[in-house]
Amino acid sequence: MSLLITNIAELTTQDLDQRVLHRAAIVLDGERIAWLGPARDAPAADAMFDAGNRAALPGWVDSHTHLVFAGDRSAEFEARMAGQPYQAGGIAETVRATREADDDELRRLLAARIAEAVAGGTTCLETKTGYGLDVGQEARSARLAAEQVDQVTFLGAHLVPVDMDPDEYVDLVCGPMLRAVRDRVQWLDVFCEQGAFSPEQSRRVLQAGKAAGLGLRVHGNQLGPGAGVQLAVEFGAASVDHVNYLDDRDVKALVGSWSGWDAATGTGRPGTVATCLPACDLSTRQPFPPARQLLDAGVPLALASNCNPGTSYTSSMGFCVATAVLQMGLSVMEAVRAATYGGALALGLDTGQDQDGLRAVGSLQVGHRADLQLLAAPSAAHLAYRPGMPLTSAVWRRGEQVI
């Protein structure tokens, strides 16, 4: 059944031309976008929805989350706010709680977190394993995640369990653990950071993921300068996430990774997206990434929530957009693009019209997946103009109204 959504005050497409249409309409036909343009030219449809002079934009694409977990780390948060610095070792507490939870409990918790994200306008989600850290538990996390999210990332290399030798654990990650999750994940990630995995260990993990045919991602340069960006570019990773501490060599490497990409047509070999996680930076009191410098240099950005129990317990992409505008020097449209098209680019979902059963997300174009949101406001500027306000008015995912 087709649906005409009309009386849209501002339609932000985030397509390659980055069009902003006024007094617009859009037609959804099943799971796809069938038409968009001026409301006066809209074709007939089976049903009609009056947007009431609200703004429409693509649904958020959250390309970095950690949603399969149990337990609570609010005490750690309070200690950090009192001055204790963030250290990667707090992950172990979540591992303990997650291992103790049964499948039904983890499934329920995951569904509730997804519902919260959707209520805030998110229509495409990636999530990671990484709170199991043994073969059976990581396989379980991958299985449960694959039931409910769009894409799953294997993050066995999240932290070395306290009772294991680091190099022996890397052997486990690269061998039995990777084989156990391989059929349920699209990506492999590694936390290349002091207190987590060294550059040499991270290289081994990335080599194993590449040999297994998985796409690659890297947690890098979060807590200080490091090798994460350089490894991500060297291995052709789709994204490097956090990127708080970059030097000129890191920026140059990221720029160079896009030399085979035509931004005007969206064709060629994509490079490594710099994914910024501003909600996490607020919680850990790290400096914000040099987003303005990266964007001006030609590096595509993604914004993601990094929803997790320790450092960023929020799935609000609207909050991330507002923070990027108010604290990171991005315009509203740049931040919205990073939270939609940028996330899709980081997940390899920016193009595709039923290729391999996938439709593109992150932009409003004919043939793309019918994922969009209406704001309780006449323009996207209100996301930063009225930070923290509940502006999500309606949400469609795969053509179905879910809010």
Amino acid residing at 310: G
Nearest to 304 by CA among 169, 154, 125: 125
- Comparing CA positions, the residue from 272, 154, 276, 268 lying closest to residue 208 is 154
Strand ranges, E, within 77-176: 122-128, 151-157
Across 310-335, average pLDDT: 98
Query: What is the pLDDT, as a whole number, of residue 89?
Result: 66
Q: Which residues contact 88 (CB under 8 A, 6 or more apart)?
A: 159, 191, 193, 194, 195, 196, 223
**Interatomic CA distance for residues 134 and 130, integer angstroms:** 9
Residue listed under structure tokens 């923290």: 388
Could you read off the pLDDT of 259-304 as tens digits, one per residue? 999 989 999 999 999 999 999 999 999 999 999 999 999 999 999 9
Q: What is the pTM of this model?
A: 0.97
pLDDT of residue 149: 98
**Phi, psi for residue 205 in degrees, rounded to 5:** -65, -45
Residue ranges and CATH numbers for the domains of the chain are 2-58+364-401 (2.30.40.10), 60-354 (3.20.20.140)
The total number of residues written for the chain in this structure: 403
Q: Report residue 260 as tokens.
A: 């085979």
pLDDT on residue 356: 59
Q: pLDDT of 156-178, one tens digit each?
A: 999 999 899 999 999 999 999 99
Paired tokens of 80: 């950090």
**Which of 172-186, 308-322, 344-358 is predicted with the least confidence, judged by mean pLDDT?**
344-358
Q: What percent of the chain has pLDDT over 70?
A: 98
d(CA 109, CA 107): 6
Instruction: Write the CB contacts of 253 (distance below 8 Å, at least 6 apart in sequence).
Output: 229, 230, 233
List the single range of 79-88, 132-141, 193-202, 373-382 with lowest mean pLDDT: 79-88
CB 240 within 8 A of CB 229: yes
Half-sphere exposure of 129 (CA within 13 A, CB side): 33
